[in-house]
Structure 1
C-alpha cells in the first residue's frame, strides 16, 4: 500500500524530533519517497545532514531559498506529495496553522497545501492540556486534519502524562491508513460553505446516511498535574468498531480518551481526557441514530485533585484522596427522553459472572445491547489484540468465539446494520 507513495515530512522543534529519523527510515524501507522539511526549531535537535542522508533527498529549510524557488517553489512543494506529515507537531506549529500564519517554510506549506495533513503532536503535558492547545486541536480536527497521538508517558522534562509523540511504528500505521483512504484533500473555503472531504466507506452501504457515535479508550482522572487514575484499556476495540461502521457507510463521531492506538481515518475525531469531558462531547455530537459506548470510562474521579504536584513530606504522611462518582454516560444516553438513538450498545468489562453481570447492567442502564467480555488478567483481552465476547440483547445471550478485535468489530457492525 505504501510502495510508491510520496510524503512531505515536516519536522518541528522538540526533543521528539529524533523519532523523525526512525520514521524516515521506516518510510524508506516501505518504499515511500520522503521530502523532508526541517524547521528552525527542529534543526536544534536533529541535523540537516542526518535527515538528508536518511531521506536521500535535499532538506528544505528556508522559505526564501532562491534556488528552491526557481526549481520547486513552495507552492509546488506543498502539492507534490500524496500526504503531508508533521512529526513532531509542536503547540506553536499547531497554533500557526489555526491562525493561518505563514511566516516560515513549514507554516507556509501547511497553508498552501491541497493534500491531506497528518499531525503527530509532541509537547509537555501541561502544554497539551492547556485550553488554547485543546481548542486548536479541535479546530484542526474539524478542518479535516488527521492526528495520531499523543501518547501518555514520561517526558524529557521529567513530568508524566499525555504529550509524548507517537512511536514511529504507530505513525507509519496512521500514514498507511490515511493513504489507504484515497486522495482526499483539505477542505476549501468558498463564499458560501466549507467543502469537506468525502468520508471513506461505500456511499450506498447499509449504514449510509446514518450517524453513529462511538466512544473509545480509557479516561484519565487527574490526581495532580502529573498523576492520574486510569485503566488498561488500549482503545483498540472501540477504534476497530468505528472503522467497521465507517466502512459500512456510516458517518462516525469518534469520541476517544487517551488511547494507545491511533484513531481511524475518515471519521470525526473528538479527543477527551476525563469522563466529564467525554459526557460533554457525546452530548455535543447528538443527535445520532446509533450509539456504541465502547469506552472504559473510569467510575470515579478524585474530588480533591491538586493543582500542583503532590510531594512526599519525608515523614510518612500519605495524601488523602477523596473520590466522587463520574457521570454514567451509557445510562444517560440510554434513558434520554428526547433524541435517544434508535440503538444504544454498551460494553461490559467483567472479571466474574460475565453473563449475569452484563445482563443486569443492560437492564439497569436501559441499553439495547451489551457487549460483554472477561477482562481477567489471564485472558489478556484488555490491552490485547483479541477479544471473546457475549452479546446480550432482549432475546438473551449469544457467545462469540475468541477472534481478533477487528473481526469482532466487523461482526458487530454487520449485526448493527441488520438491526437498523
Structure 2
C-alpha cells in the first residue's frame, strides 16, 4: 500500500528490488543522437557489459530545441541498431512519477547535476557509484552551488571513483581536497563515434583546389547570443574578412540563425544548418576547410568552462578540418612531459578569443594555403591516436568492470 501511495502521489520512488543488474546508467539525454560522446560511450557498454540497465529521462532535450516527446523515437532508433540488447536488457523511461528498481552492482552517470539529483536514492539504497565529471552540467570552478554538490557527492560512502577528462578538473578536485587522488581517474578527451576514423583526407578538396575557403562554427547555444562558445567573435571575423576576401564562406551548425546577431549585408556569406544529428556532421565537415572554436570561460555562469577541445571540434578534425581552438585552461600542455596533446601550428592552431588574432591566423593560411591540408592531416592523425576506443573506452570499461566484478 505504501509503495502504491508513493508511486501515485510522490514524484519518484527508487527501491532495491529482487532483480539485480551489473550496471545501471542514468542519463538525461541519451539516446538522442545529437550527443555523440554519450552515444558512443553508452552503446560501447551495451556491447561489452552484460545485464545492463538504463534509466533515462529526456529533460535536457529542450536545451537543443527538441521536445521531450522525441525520446520515444530515439529509443526506437536505438532498438533498430541494437536489437539483441533489447532482448536481453532493459531501458526504463523515468517519468515524473513512478517506482524504479535501482538494485545494481554499480551505478554510473555523467555530469555532477545528475548524480546530485540521484544521490539521496543511492545512499538510501546503499548503491555504489562511479561518474564522469565533464565540464558543464552544473560543474564550475569556485562556484558555490557546484562546490556544494561536489563535496556532498565525493564524500559519500558509496562513491567509488570519478573520471575526469581535463587536467584543470583533476587539479581542482585535488586542490580543494574534495577526494583522495587515488579516487580520481584522469582520461584526457572523451568518447567519440568511430565512423569518421577511417576517412581518408586525400579524398576531399581544400581551398584553393575549390573556389571557396569555407570556415565553420559548431556549438550549442546556451546563452542569448552564444558568447560562451564565442559566436559573437565568429560573426566579427566574418564581418571583418568578407569585404577583403570575396571567396570566403562561413557556416554555422547549432541552434543559431540570422536573428541571434544582426548579419545584414552578409547573408550571402553565411549558411545556417541548425542543430544536426551527430551522423549528419561528417557530410558538412568534409566540405569545410577550417573550424573555429573561440569559446571562453566564466560566461555561461561563474566558473563555467568548456572541455578542450569540444566534441564537435574533434568530429570536424576527424573529417579533415583544420582546427583553430582557444585553450583558456592550458589543457593542451602536458605538465608531466613538457609535450603537447596537439603540437601548436602543426596539428592545431591555438587562438585567442579575439577576432583580430583569429583573422591573423586565417590570413596566414590564405597566403600559404598548402598549410590547410598539412595541418588538417596531421591534426586528424593526432585525434585518431587520442580519441580511438582503445585510448578512450578501454580504460573506462576496465574501470567499471573492476567494480562490477567485486
Using structure 1 for the length normalisation, give the TM-score.
0.31
Using structure 2 for the length normalisation, give the TM-score.
0.32
Structure with the bigger percentage of strand: 1
Structure with the bigger percentage of helix: 2
* Larger relative contact order (CA 8 Å, sep ≥ 6): 2
